[in-house]
Amino acid sequence: MSDLTPHDSHANAPERLGYSPVADVPHALRMADTDPKAARRAERQVAAMFMLSMLLTIAFVVGYMTIDKTSIIYIPVFGDVGTSTFVLGLTLGAAIFLIGAGAIQWAKKLMPDVEVVQDRHDLASPASADQEALANYDRGKAESGFARFKLIRRTLIGALALFPIALLIPLRDLWTAPAGSPSPADLLSVTLWHEGLRIVTDPNLMPIKPEDLPIGGLVSGIPEDLEEVQELEGNMNARTKAAIILVRMDPSDIRAQQGDGWDYQGILAFSKICTHVGCPIALYEQRTHHLLCPCHQSTFDLADAGNVVFGPAARRMPQLPIGVDEEGFLVARSDFAEPVGPSFWERG
């Protein structure tokens, strides 16, 4: 402790053994330094905080045991809140906070507030240590024969370089291709849609007649067999690609389509998955026929073949050719002609 010296040196700074002044900065004494009553008061304050903390912890336990987890309470400013969460948070928070507040009050009022000085020491090792380290290294190198045994050295480096491969290779089975081992790109390029597959509404699963859909209307659609497929596959992969929206507009408003006559009496079907990074899209402005992605605001003009009119998406929204079956319900006439969803490397 001999290198501790007080930094603030004023005549009335509390005297501490072994300290000497370093700079002439006035140091104001605190109440607790001069007045024993103030010191007593500070002591009582600190103890009171610790005491209150204990009581609040007990209150937490009582609250935990007695408050019904579904009860709701009105607190001004906060509104209706869950009683349990509110009371537990309040008691726990205050109990912990008071420990901290007490400790800091203790430090500020009763512990020395005179700054002291300590010297820094060189971080770098002294030259003697450098030499010793080097000598040890050289000796070790010579004794191991690392430089001499070329064969050992090279095979060791080879072995060390190769073995991590054995740790990484098994990551390959993070994904196993399904039967017929299609590539990821193949899988991303097909959806459930095929000729004659009925379009049903999502989430009510009702088949759709063209006359059900008014001009300007928008309906979310999925393949009729989607639920079965989901059940079978145990995931929502098929839904991610097959979800579509149906919009109906005045046929004279349609300026272009991705294929001749892919609409049915002004009803157009587009993928619901944004071609930018794959958010589902459902914000449709019927006056302009624009479809807006809520995530990054790519905007597609559905009256103009689903082309991009604004935003970061580079590709148009894929269109699904539709028609009606013999019962008059809307069906797909084929799968999408291009992959749906975000771009990928092999897409071309």
Partner 1 sequence: MSEPSTIEKAGGGVATYVDQRVGSNKFLARNLGKVFPDHWSFMLGEIALYSFIVVLITGTFLTFFYKPSMIEVVYDGSYVPLKGILMSEAYASSLDISFDIRGGLLIRQMHHWAALIFIAAMAVHMFRVFFTGAFRKPREFNWLIGVVLVTLGLIAGFSGYSLPDDLLSGTGLQITRGIAQAIPVIGTWATFLLFDGQFPGSDFISRLYSVHILLVPGLILALVTVHLMLVWTQKHTQFPGPGRTNENVVGYPLMPVYMAKAGGFFFIVFGIIALIGGMVTINPIWIFGPFMPDQVSAGSQPDWYMGFLDGALRMMPNWETNLFDWWTISWNILIPAVIVPGILFTGLALYPFIEAWVTGDKKEHHLLDRPRNNPTRTGFGVMAITFYGLLWIGGGNDIIATSFDLTINSITWFLRIAIFVIPPIMFVVTRRICLGLQRRDRDKLLHGYESGRILRLPHGEFIEVHEPISIKDKAVIMSKTDITPLPAPERRDSAGVRNKRYHLQNVQHKLSGFFYAENIAKPSAAEIEAAEHHVAHEVALEAPLHAYEDADQINTFHGGVLHHPGMPQTNAEQLAERAQH
Residue 285 beta carbon to partner 1: minimum distance, rounded to whole angstroms:
12
Question: What does the block give as tokens for 242?
Answer: 């097959």
Q: Which is nearer to partner 1, 84 or 258 (CB)?
A: 84
Q: Which is nearer to partner 1, 40 or 347 (CB)?
A: 347
Cα–Cα distances in Å, from 131 out to 83, 138, 296? 69, 10, 61
Q: Which is nearer to partner 1, 95 or 322 (CB)?
A: 95
The helix/strand/coil state of 291 is strand
Strand partners, 80: 74
- Rounded Cα distance, 146 and 176, in Å: 44
Separation of CA 228 from chain center: 32
Residue 37 beta carbon to partner 1: minimum distance, rounded to whole angstroms:
22
Rg from Cα positions in the chain: 38
Q: Which is nearer to partner 1, 116 or 324 (CB)?
A: 116
- Locate all alpha helices (DSSP H) within 169-214, ordered by sequence: 184-189
Separation of CA 297 from chain center: 20
Residue 267 beta carbon to partner 1: minimum distance, rounded to whole angstroms:
19
- Rounded Cα distance, 213 and 207, in Å: 12
Residue 181 beta carbon to partner 1: minimum distance, rounded to whole angstroms:
12
Residue 138 beta carbon to partner 1: minimum distance, rounded to whole angstroms:
27
Q: Which is nearer to partner 1, 250 or 346 (CB)?
A: 346
Give the closest residue to 242 by CA, choosing from 199, 284, 181, 207. 199
